[in-house]
Amino acid sequence: MAEALEGWLAALAATDGAALNTLVAYRRDVTGFLGFLALHRGEPPGPATLAGLAATDLRAFVARERGRGLAARSVARALSAVRSFARWQAATGGAEPTAVLAARAPRSPRRLPRPLAPEAARAMLAEVAAGADPPWIAARDLAVVTLLWGLGLRISEALALQGADRPLPAVLRIRGKGGRERLVPVLPAARAAVEDYARRSPHDLAREGALFRGVRGAPLGPRAVARAVEAARQRLGLPASATPHAFRHSFATHLLAAGGDLRAIQELLGHASLATTQTYTAVDAARLMEVYERSHPRA
């Protein structure tokens, strides 16, 4: 089974272009499931084990994981990895793992994104710009956060930019989750913020190195950005949901509120499924109902 697991992961990397973080998570999830089977059935799982599983075995796995305190979303991800592994095993000559493929994940409550209001986002940017010393660090933090809100980037995507990416072009090519590439228009304000940081930075921003650097010149990590955003939102009295990722949510929600096309927003965000982007329509509808209930004379 260890050999089969390695073969599956290699296939995901070669044919699907799976990212390293995805492969690490899949390895952990499938290894955990195989370890459970060894204890549950009293013997190490072999090549035919998955095909011989019953629905009760899968329910026992889900119960064990929930009993360990895992959230429904985490259990669903693990089952998805196991199903993918089982499907690959069947395609490469194994028997059909019917129970595994039919396994249902526990339902998780639907969590809506929690974006910032436009005025709160602007206040956060101003606070981040004024919140660090020396000034080049404040300029760096402002540039990163501007990319999150102005371009809808994930923090990992912003921090993956290289010195060769500046000055930012009119359209930036971003490689996101699952190796998917997308083209994102660059706002003049974002380009200006990056150039201001680059002028102030004491480090040599070589073309082949990271664009955003830490105090000692190493590539900037996400925790430093999270600390800057956390300090800014505390000074402004904003809720704990005002995180770096909230700026990406805000990008999508503000575009949608301004009449943006859902398909276009999907492309800008790099979502593989339109269903993921449609979550933002629920946010917009929820906000509309709040305004209605607060403002209508019969409310």
Amino acid 270: pLDDT = 77
Q: Both 80 and 128 in a single domain?
A: no
Measured between its terminal Cα atoms, the distance across the chain in Å is 62
**Would you say 154 and 248 are in contact if contact means Cβ atoms under 8 Å apart?**
yes
User: Looking at the domain assignment, is residue 276 inside a domain?
Assistant: yes
Q: Both 222 and 180 in a single domain?
A: yes
Take residue 267 and report the two structure tokens written for it.
Answer: 């492309």
280 tagged catalytic: yes
Which element (helix H / strand E) includes 118? helix 118-130
Determine if the pTM surpasses 0.75: no
**Would you say 184 and 191 are in contact if contact means Cβ atoms under 8 Å apart?**
no
197 tagged catalytic: no
Residue from 27, 175, 245, 287 carrying the catalytic annotation: 245
Q: Both 78 and 151 in a single domain?
A: no
Q: Report the distance separating Cα 128 and Cα 119, nearest Å.
A: 14
Share of the chain above pLDDT 70, in %: 89
199 tagged catalytic: no
Q: From the CA atom positions of the chain, what is the Rg in Å?
A: 23
In the predicted structure, residue 272 carries a pLDDT above the cut 80 = no
Query: Looking at 17-21, 48-52, 222-226, which range is the least confident one?
Result: 17-21
Residue from 248, 263, 294, 298 carrying the catalytic annotation: 248
40 tagged catalytic: no
- Render pLDDT for 167-189 as a digit per residue (tens, 0 to 9): 999 998 988 877 788 888 899 99
In the predicted structure, residue 256 carries a pLDDT above the cut 70 = yes
Strands (E), 102-213: 171-175, 181-185
| Number of domains within the chain | 2
Q: Which of 53, 73, 102 is the last residue of a domain?
A: 102
Q: Both 258 and 156 in a single domain?
A: yes
Q: Quickly tell me which residue has 């994102």 as its tokens.
A: 184
Q: Is the pLDDT higher at 245 or at 47?
A: 245
Domain that holds residue 31: 2-102
Exposed e or buried b per residue across 93-125, where buried means at least 16 C-beta atoms within 10 angstroms of its C-beta:
ebeebbbbeebebeeeeeeebbbbeeebbebbb
Q: Is the pLDDT higher at 224 or at 278?
A: 224
- Render pLDDT for 72-122 as a digit per residue (tens, 0 to 9): 888 888 999 999 998 888 888 777 788 888 888 777 666 666 788 889 999
Nearest to 52 by CA among 104, 88, 97, 94: 97
Q: Is the pLDDT higher at 291 or at 169?
A: 169
pLDDT bracket for residue 146 (50, 70, 90): very high
Residue from 73, 177, 235, 287 carrying the catalytic annotation: 177
Contacts of residues 131-138 at CB distance under 8 Å and 24 or more positions apart, as own/partner, are 131/228, 131/231, 131/232, 131/235, 132/228, 135/200, 136/197, 136/200, 136/201, 136/202, 137/215
pLDDT bracket for residue 13 (50, 70, 90): confident
**Would you say 84 and 18 are in contact if contact means Cβ atoms under 8 Å apart?**
no
